[in-house]
Structure 1
Amino acid sequence: MTISKWTAAQVARKVIDNEELFILDVRNKDAFEDWKIEGHKFEYLNIPYFELLDGVEKILPQLPTNKDVIVVCAKEGSSVMVAEMLSEAGREVAYLEGGMKSWSSYLEPIKVADLENGGELYQFVRLGKGCLSYMVTSGGEAAIIDAVRFSDVFTNFAKEKGVQIKHVFDTHLHADHISGGRDIAAETGATYYLPPKDATEVVFDYTPLTDGLNVKIGATQMDVNALYSPGHTIGSTSFVIDNQYLLTGDILFVDSIGRPDLAGLAEDWVGDLRETLYTRYRELAEDLIVLPAHFMTIDELNEDGTVARRLGDLFKENHGLNIEDEDEFRRTVTENLPPQPNAYEQIRQVNMGKIAPSHDEQTEMEIGPNRCAVR
């Protein structure tokens, strides 16, 4: 039998199109339990590859013959070996090119909406990390919000769309992934914006992203308005685009709220978090569509692969927006938090411009799921 090589993009389509897939994950059990490829209709078998060195016969009865089977490991090598053994045993299987390393890096651009006056809004879904980035296009120009470090994905997409990147924003100083904002701005000549309250230790020049800032994009004069919304960080800033879309950064997610502890100041920032969620956001129109900077589980994806919900629906359904007692809210967001993101302190240092790790070092820093939310 032959073995096929699947790219992360092919697996992503299985996720987004809600298709079946059987994954044989040959990483160690702790790695699998911490982080795996999620799909609505995916099934899994986790057998560390070293348990298969003497043969794959014992697992053959556990592998389906009526659906696609893909072998996954950390970086590809072990999955190729196991896939070849399965092929020799008469099974048709595939392996994931680049392993979980490539899955962590892949971005799927999906159109969220056509905006007024001819503009478009795109969400870049990083399925393997739960990161969400955005591009607004209008009148031949573009703005990017919360770009991850794969800057070529955004610059190439802009070229495909025939738009020039003019503005690049980070809603806050990220702690779970390395920002691509500065690199994109340097490559394109765009203006790079960062909230000044998050930028007290940065060692590079930036344009302050301040409350009430209104940036026009393109000849169609589409508005991108900044809304100060601290809590995840002291500088966290949201965006209201076209009076229809609320980009919440890491303050509000579909199924949770942002954690305030990643700079070691949870007790200081918990009050800001509550003020943002229970006062500032409550003053906004409930018909706004919330577009967060992260998602936690595959269940948060819509049928088209986007992550988006109406603000009014989140006021009703999101537990983090319905904790009446302030003391209970404080306990919820400061105690019993999930583990902190992998290498988050070093990632903050990178995003401040203080250290410049190699490409491979950056990859290792970002391995694993995002953990920006209160569970």
Structure 2
Amino acid sequence: MTTALVGMTAQELTSIVLNKEELFILDVRNDSDFNDWKIEGESVTSVNIPYFDLLEGVDEALGSIPEGKKVLVVCAKEGSSKFVGEQLVEAGLNEVYYLEGGMKSWSEHLEPVKIGDLKDGGSIYQFVRIGKGCLSYMIVSNGEAAIVDTLRMSDVYEKFAAEHQLQIKYTIDTHLHADHISGGRKLADKVGATYWLPPKDADEVVFQYDKLEEGQVLTVGSTKLNIQAVYSPGHTIGSTSLIVDDQYFLTGDILFIESIGRPDLAGKAEDWVGDLRNTLYNRYKELSDDLIVLPAHFGKITELGEGGKVSARLGDLYYSNPGLNMHDEAEFRRAVTGNLPQQPNAYQEIRQTNMGKITPSDEEQREMEIGPNRCAIHDK
């Protein structure tokens, strides 16, 4: 039992969520911020009482907190949660924590999860950005690595590569992202890797890149691990999936575990909905049912499996995923172009940043990315 206020890191909170430990969260942000985006977990319960409602005392909060529960107080940056947490301790509560760095730190934490082994001795890792639902990948073979859909926090990949004595050979974006800022080009420049991007998404980019095109095979490690590019438009016109080692299928933002990608983030939903349907209902259907789908995002915490993995067999998704079971084309078009969820926060500015047209500061980039990802057509 703790009888003083204690800081909890985003990494410690991630461990609690992934291990399905019980936790009660008192979120003291504004109602609108809480309703837009909050910490979730299968054994996590949360209540929202804005900080300004607790300035005169924490009686309202005390009445909402179950007895004997570990309590985590959460705010945007940590200051308000420390103030409220200290009052809860003074009121006699044990095991009270505040989230260090607030929701900003939760948004930026990456948790590496091993997905599996490769046929010739390599491995593939999924980096789970649990607070925002973003997924990126590191493919490792014989001392070399390729990173797919690299996130802005590129130092995490550098540290992981150094710990495992890996040379980062490639960074690859499956498409031009609109919900988060890519770290692929920045990391490639720093470590001397090659940055790959689908050329059909690169009409407006202002930097050099290598063209990721269908049929291209990238080799990682001397064991000849192959990454095969498969053109799969729909979320963007250039979206390109990757088949790794004939086992793993990195689908970017085209196919998720419980949903499918949205085609409207470049303002071309009506133009691209046909491409999306063709990719999902024809191109992907030609592939092996046994491929393990590894998407670039997850929508809900329930999509995280054992140890935090987000994955599914392609053949199983053709039974369980609603987006793959709209066999009437008119129904599909209505679902994909009508009643779409709110667009990601600052998505136009994020696209401009990923094109190299604007260069926001680190703090501006954090603010641009705040909130959940919204790359799917629906939440279920």
The TM-score with structure 1 as length reference comes to 0.99
Give 1:91 shift: 1.0
Give 1:315 shift: 0.3
**Unmatched 5+ residue regions in structure 1?**
none
Aligned residues: 375
What pairs with 1:228-239 in structure 2 (closer than 5 Å)?
Answer: 228-239=231-242
Aligned to 1:17: 19
Say if 2:33 is the partner of 1:31: yes
Amino acid at match of 1:68: K
Amino acid at match of 1:31: D
Amino acid at match of 2:175: H
Say if 2:89 is the partner of 1:91: no
Cα deviation code 1:178-214 (max 9, x no counterpart): 0000011001111100000000000000000000110
**Unmatched 5+ residue regions in structure 2?**
none
Give 1:154 shift: 0.6
> Which residue of the other structure, out of 264, 267, 286, is the alignment partner of 2:267?
264
Aligned to 1:131: 134
The separation in 2 between residues aligned to 1:213 and 1:359, in whole angstroms, is 34
The separation in 2 between residues aligned to 1:157 and 1:201, in whole angstroms, is 32
Amino acid at match of 1:232: H
> Which residue of the other structure, out of 55, 79, 103, is the alignment partner of 2:81?
79
Cα deviation code 1:98-126 (max 9, x no counterpart): 10011000000000001111101000000
Give 1:316 shift: 0.3
Aligned to 1:3: 5
Cα deviation code 1:321-360 (max 9, x no counterpart): 0101111111110000000000000000000000000001
Amino acid at match of 1:336: N
The separation in 2 between residues aligned to 1:311 and 1:304, in whole angstroms, is 20
Amino acid at match of 2:262: R
Say if 2:195 is the partner of 1:192: yes
SS of the residue aligned with 1:113? strand
Cα deviation code 1:243-265 (max 9, x no counterpart): 11100000000000000000001
The separation in 2 between residues aligned to 1:369 and 1:45, in whole angstroms, is 18
Greater mean deviation of Cα atoms: 174-183 or 50-59: 50-59
What pairs with 1:216-295 in structure 2 (closer than 5 Å)?
Answer: 216-295=219-298
Say if 2:334 is the partner of 1:314: no
Identical residues among aligned pairs (%): 64
Say if 2:53 is the partner of 1:55: no
Cα deviation code 1:226-250 (max 9, x no counterpart): 0000000000000001111100000
The separation in 1 between residues aligned to 2:249 and 2:10, in whole angstroms, is 29
Give 1:19 shift: 1.0
SS of the residue aligned with 1:5? strand
SS of the residue aligned with 1:24? strand
Aligned to 1:168: 171
The separation in 2 between residues aligned to 1:116 and 1:218, in whole angstroms, is 12
Say if 2:345 is the partner of 1:351: no
Give 1:59 shift: 2.4
List 4+ stretches of structure 1 deviating above 6 A.
Answer: none
Aligned to 1:66: 68
Amino acid at match of 2:359: A
Say if 2:372 is the partner of 1:369: yes
Cα deviation code 1:18-58 (max 9, x no counterpart): 11110000011111111001111100111001111111123
Give 1:65 shift: 3.1
The separation in 1 between residues aligned to 2:323 and 2:82, in whole angstroms, is 43
The separation in 2 between residues aligned to 1:180 and 1:58, in whole angstroms, is 43
The separation in 1 between residues aligned to 2:91 and 2:320, in whole angstroms, is 49
Aligned to 1:43: 45
SS of the residue aligned with 1:23? strand
Cα deviation code 1:288-327 (max 9, x no counterpart): 1000000000010102101000101100010100101111
Give 1:67 shift: 2.4
Q: Superposition RMSD on alpha carbons, in Å?
A: 0.7
Give 1:61 shift: 3.0
Amino acid at match of 1:83: G
